[in-house]
Amino acid sequence: MIFRRYNTSVLAVVALGLLLIYYYIRQPLILSPFGAKILANQGTTLALAALAQLVVVLTGGVDLSVGAVVSLSNCIAATYMGSHPASVIAVCVLTLAVGAGAGLVNGVLVAYGRIQPIIVTLATLYIFSGLALMVRPQPGGLVPPFYANALTGGWGYLPYAMVALFVMLFAVWTPLMRSRLGTAIRAVGDNPGGAHMSGINVPRTLILAYVMGGVFAAAAGLYLTAQTTSGDAAIGTSYTLNSVAAVVFGGALLGGGRGVAPGPVIAAYFLSIIISVLFAAGISPFYQSVFQGGILMVVLVFGNLWTLRTRNWLTILKN
């Protein structure tokens, strides 16, 4: 039963486990403080982006602008951060606020504009990445070393990346999803009409979900800034696809209503680490996108195999 409900996320756990074992055999060095740090750093940006995607997917939508918000926050952070700790903190807060604003735009257009999430976020994808390019026409910027160290360093076997992720997960995500809002978000994605009949304010719930998604995408951008120590308006592009892949692989249902954080987070680490494993295994890095796209497609088909079992054609069509 567990497998049926969380089918693909169980698969993600197994896949990540096997991947790490294989990686260890090829490269024993990963079982060291340094290795742990490298592994943790690799997946954190995508894990945060996947959470951004997850909250929108839970409402029954898809957010194509996640990658653009990652780029935008990366550009803002790297451009305005300065080197004084106070300005760093101020810019981090500003960046998260920009992310929230981006989410608000998406949410209002979906909830009150009554436009399909796909079209809204496809259009805002261009708007946000255009803004990112305005902030930072050329890659570059300045990121103080202490900022980078605070997020990508480590203390023994404990990478700070894990600390950052856990803070976002347990101090932000979990409390929100365990509040009435969290249930409302899942209810809206599950059965919007039923949610309305149960007295849930559907537009408000949608907007808050998109705002939350924007904040997490911005957090992903902040982490990415610590990793790359520069700003690049094109850097976030791949996070749209990979966040969708992580969410689907992590057991969430496209169409809404079902999904919990651990699955997408683990899937995000898998999708990130597999790239270095491919590299370690001597496979050309050109295969990166083949794997990312291919994994998404395989997981999609796997997750929807039930359609080949449903008896009534009409229910398939009306779905």
Q: Which residues in the 125-184 window bind other proteins by CB under 8 A?
A: 125-127, 129-134, 137, 175, 178-180, 182-184
Tell me the CA distances in angstroms from 23 to 19, 72, 175, 286, one per residue in order.
6, 33, 35, 19
Is the separation of the CB atoms in 238 and 291 below 8 Å? no
Asked if 294 touches other proteins (CB under 8 A), the answer is: yes
Q: How far is the CB of 60 from other proteins (least distance, A)?
A: 11
Instruction: Report CA torsion sign: 145, 151, 152, 153.
Output: positive
Using the minimum distance from each CB to other proteins, give the nearer residue, 154 or 182. Answer: 182
Using the minimum distance from each CB to other proteins, give the nearer residue, 44 or 240. Answer: 240
Q: Binding residue for other proteins (CB under 8 A) from 27, 191, 229, 276? A: 191
Q: Binding residue for other proteins (CB under 8 A) from 10, 254, 275, 280? A: 254
Using the minimum distance from each CB to other proteins, give the nearer residue, 87 or 276. Answer: 276
For 241, the enclosing helix (H) or strand (E) is helix 237-249
Residues 19-48 that bind other proteins (CB under 8 A): none
Using the minimum distance from each CB to other proteins, give the nearer residue, 230 or 292. Answer: 292
Residues 107-126 that bind other proteins (CB under 8 A): 109, 113-116, 118-120, 122-126
Task: Return the structure tokens found at 76.
Answer: 């803002």
Angle (CA) 166 48 192, round 5°:
105
Q: How far is the CB of 193 from other proteins (least distance, A)?
A: 7
Binding mask 41-80 for other proteins (x = CB under 8 A): ---------------------x-x----------------
Q: Binding residue for other proteins (CB under 8 A) from 190, 229, 262, 275? A: 190
Task: Return the structure tokens found at 101.
Answer: 């604003």
Q: Is 311 exposed, middle or buried (0-12, 13-18, 19+ CB in 10 A)?
A: exposed
Distance, CA of 216 to CA of 103 (rounded, Å) = 10
Task: Return the structure tokens found at 69.
Answer: 């918000």
Using DSSP's 3-state secondary structure scheme, residue 295 falls into helix
Q: How far is the CB of 154 from other proteins (least distance, A)?
A: 31
Task: Return the structure tokens found at 140.
Answer: 């570059």
Using the minimum distance from each CB to other proteins, give the nearer residue, 218 or 252. Answer: 252
